[in-house]
Amino acid sequence: MSDYIIERGGHEDLHRVYPMMSYDFESWERPTEGEFHAAMLKGAELLLLKNGEGCECGYAMMLKSRGAEYVLLGWLGVYPTVRGHGVGGVFLSLLSEHYAALGGILLEVTKYPELEKARKLHAFYGRNGYADVNCAYSIYGEPSALMYRRLAGPEDISGDIRAVMRECYLPLYGDAEQARYIDIK
C-alpha cells in the first residue's frame, strides 16, 4: 500500500468535497455546507487523505474549539474507489498521529445499534482503538454510540463528557443548538 498523508483543506476544498459528504451522510446527520464553512472559521478542520501520488482518497471534518483538549471526528469518508482496501484504518491511524498531543478523539456512530451499517462501523472503529464512552447518547434525536480513542488524555472521560462534547461542538453549534441536537445521560 502506498504511503498516505493528511493535508489540511481550506474553504475551496470543502466546496469540492461537500457533494461527497452528501453521498456518505444522510441530510439529517450532515450540517449545511455554509455551517461547515462557518465552523472552519472557529477552529474546525477539514483534513484530506492523499496517497503517495498525491491523489485525494478521503476527508475528515474535525470539530475542535481552539485550545480544546479533545477533537470530534464528526464526518469521515473514504472515496468509493479505494474503499475496502484498508484505507479507512490507515486514515484513522494518521488522525491519531496528527492529534497525538490532544487528550483524545471522539466520534459518533448514529442509529447504533439499530442499523446493520452502524453495527459494522462500530466494530470497525473498535478494531481501530476506539471504545464506547459510558453514557447514553443521542444526536439529532437518534440513539448513537459515542466512542473515544485515548491519546494523551485519561482512559475514562465519561465523568467530563458533557463539557468535552460542548467544547468540541462549539465551532458548529452554540449552547442553544447543542441543547436541541445533543442529549447525554
pLDDT value at position 38? 97
Domain of 49, CATH number, reads 3.40.630.30
pLDDT value at position 129? 97
| pTM (2 d.p.) | 0.94
pLDDT value at position 6? 98
Nine cell digits for residue 93: 491511524
Q: How far is residue 118's CA from residue 22's CA, in Å, rounded to a whole number?
A: 17
Strand, helix or coil for residue 88: helix
Domain count of the chain? 1
Would you give per-residue pLDDT tens digits along the chain (185 residues)? 459 999 999 999 999 999 999 999 999 999 999 999 999 999 999 999 999 999 999 999 999 977 789 999 999 999 998 988 899 999 999 999 999 999 999 999 998 878 898 999 999 999 999 999 999 999 999 999 999 999 999 999 999 999 999 999 999 999 999 999 999 99
CA nearest neighbour of 120 among 145, 139, 140: 145
pLDDT value at position 2? 57
Nine cell digits for residue 94: 494518521
Rg (CA), the chain: 15
Q: How far is residue 4's CA from residue 2's CA, in Å, rounded to a whole number?
A: 6
Sign of the CA dihedral running 15, 29, 176, 150: negative
Q: How far is residue 140's CA from residue 177's CA, in Å, rounded to a whole number?
A: 10
Please answer whether residues 172 and 44 qualify as being in contact, where contact means their C-beta atoms are separated by less than 8 angstroms: yes
Domain around 67: 5-184
Q: How far is residue 79's CA from residue 64's CA, in Å, rounded to a whole number?
A: 24
